Amino acid sequence: MIKLIDLIKEEDGKIIIPRNIEGRKTKRLEMIYQEIQDYIKAGSKTPLHLSRTPITSLPDNLKKVGGSLKLNYSKIESLPDNLQVEGDLELIDTLIKSLPSNLQVKDNLYLIGTPIESLPNNLQVEGDLYLGDTQIKTLPSNLQVGGNLYLKFTPIAEKYSKIEIRQMIESTGGFVNKEIYI
């Protein structure tokens, strides 16, 4: 039987020690941020997938993503102001606590499992808005959802009916084009 200790020994009997382990996390983070800057310089025309990365924020000069922006299971805590995402924005199980001003999402916005408690006024989502398993207690003024609004397992869904939620949204100038799910 081969033992693990036999596999990690060098020929002279010393245990193999991984090299260049110091600074590996820092270098990886620097590489990711450089990739984002290269993406911006190239015109931000394609999707940007950064799920499961250690980044905590995106650079302020990122104003547009030409497809989906996927940050699921990352350590992201904030997004830049005036961000326009031309596809889905996926923030599932991230640390994000708030969304930036004037955020525009052309398709679906996924905030499932985040600690987010409120949304910015004038939020526009052309597709579906998924807020399940969040701490959303109120909805913002002029919320515009072109598709469905999903509020399962939220404080607002426990407190209000679908009709009351729709009335609240419409009373502030907003709308939900399709269904509200609680």
pLDDT for the residue numbered 125:
94
Mean pLDDT of the chain: 91
H or E stretch including 138?
Answer: none
109, part of any domain? yes
With H, G, I as helix, E, B as strand and everything else as coil, classify residue 65.
strand
Q: Is the pLDDT of residue 3 over 70?
A: no
pTM: 0.85
Between CA 80 and CA 57 the distance in angstroms is: 8
pLDDT for the residue numbered 2:
65
Residue 121 burial class via C-beta count within 10 angstroms: exposed 0-12, middle 13-18, buried 19 and up: middle
25, part of any domain? no
H or E stretch including 110?
Answer: strand 109-110
159, part of any domain? yes
Q: For 62-72, what is each residue's pLDDT tens digit?
A: 999 999 999 99
136, part of any domain? yes
Domain count, the chain: 1
Contact predicate 123/140, CB 8 Å = yes
82, part of any domain? yes
- The C-alpha angle 137, 142, 146, rounded to 5 degrees, equals 95
pLDDT for the residue numbered 22:
76
CATH number of 149's domain: 3.80.10.10
Which two structure tokens, joined as six digits, stand for 21?
């382990």
Q: Is the pLDDT of residue 48 over 60?
A: yes
| Mean pLDDT, residues 35-44 taken together | 97
Q: Which residue segment(s) compose the domain that 110 sits in?
A: 44-181
79, part of any domain? yes
123, part of any domain? yes
Q: What DSSP designation does 16 have? A: P
Contact predicate 94/76, CB 8 Å = yes
Q: For 76-134, what is each residue's pLDDT tens digit?
A: 999 999 999 999 999 999 999 889 988 899 999 999 999 998 899 889 999 999 999 99
63, part of any domain? yes
| Mean pLDDT, residues 131-141 taken together | 94
pLDDT for the residue numbered 5:
64
pLDDT for the residue numbered 25:
87
Between CA 94 and CA 17 the distance in angstroms is: 34
With H, G, I as helix, E, B as strand and everything else as coil, classify residue 99.
coil
